[in-house]
Structure 1
């Protein structure tokens, strides 16, 4: 495509990820939102048109139902794909794998989310680790929220020459807040039945060199995930050297309990005070004053917003597939600026 033309992006699925991707695309100076496709004719689709986005039905049946509900519908998914350079599939788990057949028939580039298997695209994406490998590809998979956080943090240590192996325990939110009335858990903990849990092997789909094992348990809350990590370093190190490694990633935000950020709800409140849309925490929020180094052993904890952390990765994946921006650092910088990534450090002072 012409290097001076904006990338026309279609979003298929307008759930917790899709609506955030659509808003993020609309904020990029080198992209335009071609439209949003969905199956629902309820309040979610009304938000699409209220924001000024074009609404499409996933098929004629859904488009007709939307029109009957009084919605302004521009056509079907087929029409949307014809008007776009690339589609970001944000449909529920396993649905995207079926949609891939449609995308390939049409001949459009596509991105799927971490609920799909690596084999669907043959490439897994985290901007700081695998951007170059995605350049000009037909497709990629933006890995899950937890996997994204693992790759970001361990890659920062790896790039500093500090990472030998890592073992992590994940406390996973039970469900998304908006649907906690449907499938949340109360008064119990639910262990993931196998060790390693799936996030460690998934991180290796991005970087096979990572020596990482994860364990996970589902907990009765819906705000965010919480990770605890024990890492063996390649050598004894000082705490400041480790913190400097984490600072090398613009998508890791160092926070302090001493600033009153003592729990995940307080971090989400900070996002609201910063004016982030949907209170989005795009970064890994890592407690710097909790972090401990004992010789060649490192221990730390951080928070993951599963509705937001993959959004900047998705924006960078769009640029990589289209290939207009070849340098990952340039794309990351553009995305960060558009989404306000970096404002946590400014709000809290040097960390």
Structure 2
């Protein structure tokens, strides 16, 4: 019997998300990284070569600049795309929308990130909610970090029959840590000018049945996002029943402030101490001891790692488009096991938890 052929994955854009996607693809037994492409010729691409990744210039001038910088170049982007079955476009906002014509001409399946509009692919992805509808499609959009967390947590409540509607306030990090010397805000808070903020409607692009409204404010820090939620449940429920609903999701980690994990920095330090690559928190870190139930009203808060939460979702999206794995739970389990997140059955690597 011939072994199943691995899905060949190209990554265009080797930045905050692209490098993490490339690393995660390399950890999957059913996927193989065809290579990465970018326009820059700096330390990031030199590191990619050191990791054993094939590097391609996104343009001819980019390839020439890489060679001039001493970076080993395997070719240009069309060479990479010709060696791939699926491309994950991790280029900056609005650039992917200009790249998709080339992907379509080549007959390539493709994934874009949450900075692009839903209309670019006509499908938005979070594994817990929309895996099945992505199976075999030519393309999908992995939604933003904040939207991913919203869909994960509300889907957990919905699957437990507890969700009626949800209202959330998001405190958004100002910029990515690696470029905080260039962008971001200082000594101010900047509210998103419309209510709902864009994350609520974006969550509805994944699940139109969600009754959700969001407000957001940009804050002067770069560690991650902080969400506060007020949920009207379908009925009166106890705190433990609600916690059990969240525990049912392998990608929600229940943490406790009274155990020392009181803030974003302590959770980030925890991820570094347990050896997560880049200190990445793939899960939603939800404070179990803060969670409060008053009749049919639920209040809770959680942390979102903007650099990491979409990585497992992207891996699952690759499998869904490839069409070989039609079971969402099986894909989630495989991704979790490879990244050290945990498993739905509880038999795989344990999800980091401080909830007793």
- Provide the TM-score with structure 1 as the length reference: 0.98
Q: CA deviation at 1:71?
A: 1.0
RMSD between aligned residues: 1.3
Matching residue of 1:272: 272
Match of 1:170 in 2: 170
Q: Which residue of 1 aligns with 2:74?
A: 74
- How far has the Cα of 1:337 moved from its partner? 0.2
Q: Distance in 2 between matches of 1:239 and 1:16?
A: 37
- The answer (yes or no) to whether the contact 2:341–2:351 under 8 Å persists in 1 is no
1:296-348 superposed Cα distances (whole Å, 9 cap, x missing partner)? 00000000000000000000000000001010000000000000003996654
- 1:103 paired with 2:103, answer yes
1:198 aligns with 2:217: no
Tell me what 1:119 maps to: 119
Query: What is the CA distance between 1:3 and its match in structure 2?
Result: 7.6
The alpha carbon displacement at 1:105 in A equals 1.1
Cα distance in 2 between the residues matched to 1:149 and 1:346: 16
**Is the CA contact (8 Å cut-off) linking 1:203 and 1:210 kept in structure 2?**
yes
Q: 1:288 — aligned with what?
A: 288
Q: Is the 8 A contact 1:253 1:344 kept in 2?
A: no
TM-superposed CA distance for 1:258, in Å, is: 1.4
Moved over 6 A (4+): none
Whole-angstrom distance in 1 between the partners of 2:79 and 2:241: 53
Quote the residue 1:87 is aligned against: 87
Distance in 2 (alpha carbons) for counterparts of 1:45 and 1:142? 24
Extract unaligned runs of 5+ from structure 1: none
Q: Give the match's secondary structure for 1:338.
A: helix
Q: Distance in 2 between matches of 1:29 and 1:322?
A: 14
Q: Contact 1:200 / 1:214 at 8 angstroms: preserved in 2? A: yes
Per-residue deviation, residues 241-299 of structure 1 (Å, max 9, x unmatched): 00000011110000001110000000000000110000000000000000000000000
Tell me by how many angstroms 1:349 deviates: 5.3
Query: Do the aligned partners of 2:9 and 2:84 also contact (CA within 8 Å) in 1?
Result: yes
The DSSP-based 3-state class of the residue aligned with 1:181 is coil
- Give the drift of 1:131: 0.3
Give the TM-score of the pair, scaled to structure 2. 0.97
Q: Is the CA contact 2:253–2:353 (under 8 Å) kept in the aligned structure 1? A: no
Contact 1:254-1:345 within 8 A present in 2 as well: no
Which residue of structure 2 aligns with residue 250 of structure 1?
250
Q: Deviation per CA, 1:139-179, whole angstroms, max 9, x where unpaired? A: 00000000000000000001111000000000000000000
CA distance 1:44–1:206, shift in 2 (3 Å): same
Contact 1:168 1:213 in 2 (8 A): yes
CA distance in 2 between counterparts of 1:86 and 1:259 reads 43
Distance in 2, matches of 1:345 and 1:27, equals 17
Q: Report the 3-state secondary structure (helix = DSSP H, G, I; strand = E; otherwise coil) of the residue aligned with 1:215.
A: strand
Structure with more of its chain in helix, by fraction: 1
SS at match of 1:87: strand
> How is 1:1-351 mapped onto 2 (pairs within 5 angstroms)?
4-342=4-342, 347-348=352-353, 351=356
Does the 8 Å CA contact 1:132/1:326 hold for their aligned counterparts? yes
